[in-house]
Amino acid sequence: MKAILLAAGRGTRIARNVEMVPKSTLPIDGEPLIRRSVALLQKAGMQCIVCTGYKEEKVKEALEGMEKITYCYNPFFDVTNSLASLWFAREEMDDDLIIMNADVFFTEKILTALLKDKRSPVMAIDRSRVQEGDYFFKTAWNGRIEKYGKGLPIELRSCEYVGMAKVEKSFLPLFKKRMEEMIRSQQHSAWWENVLYSFTDQKEQDIYTVDVDGKFWAEIDYFDDYERIIDYVAHTRESRK
């Protein structure tokens, strides 16, 4: 199995509060976030592919000394979004995949829950977060995504998207074909997740969700998100003493 981590973006929303570096390289208990993530993924037996762009040297520096990492560079990171970054990794998409945004802090239990789910494609979600968050889904009784969006009305929200998904090899031909169609139609500003969402629009393919069930996670969009991670790690460390 492979894991693709998307680490090409600038992270403009948090830039006013931190040094101008990729969000995925921010330190978590003295270790860059992306290094911690790659270690968890490799521990689960995955080959890691990292999509870089903005200050790629900082991402590579954060992963220095780690073995068997493939890098795919998006030279147009400043005028594109994560869909384009994933497209530059298309040659690596030949096995079951975890695709994730590299600024997501997740636990080993969340990764295990995503891997154990037998459905595909399946996206990690948090049903405890519907009041505030970044991106929301409305789901059916079986977890299938029905509606999605940043501005999804609160009465329709079932959950918040975590920033990780699993796409099995059997679905990749359809996935890659749709991704190519979106690139060719100049949808360079789309997120990579829009490939999956496009299948729900016309009810072509069910896209499922798996709940993280109260386990801690955070995607670093704002400084408050980063502080939540720092506080969680510090509390976890203290509780183990």
Cβ neighbours for 57, distance < 8 A, ≥ 6 positions apart: none
Residue 25 tokens read as 């390289």
56 vs 234: CA distance, rounded Å: 29
- All domains in the chain, ordered by first residue: 2-239 (3.90.550.10)
CA 65, CA 39: separation in Å to the nearest integer? 12
pLDDT digits (tens, 9 = 90+) for 182-224: 999 999 999 999 999 999 998 899 999 999 988 999 999 888 8
pTM equals: 0.94
Coil, strand, or helix at residue 13?
coil
CA distances from 221 to 108, 145, 169, 171 (A): 21, 23, 30, 30
Instruction: Give the model's pLDDT for residue 108.
Output: 96
Low-confidence ranges of the chain (pLDDT < 70): 11-19, 241
Supply the pLDDT for residue 19. 65
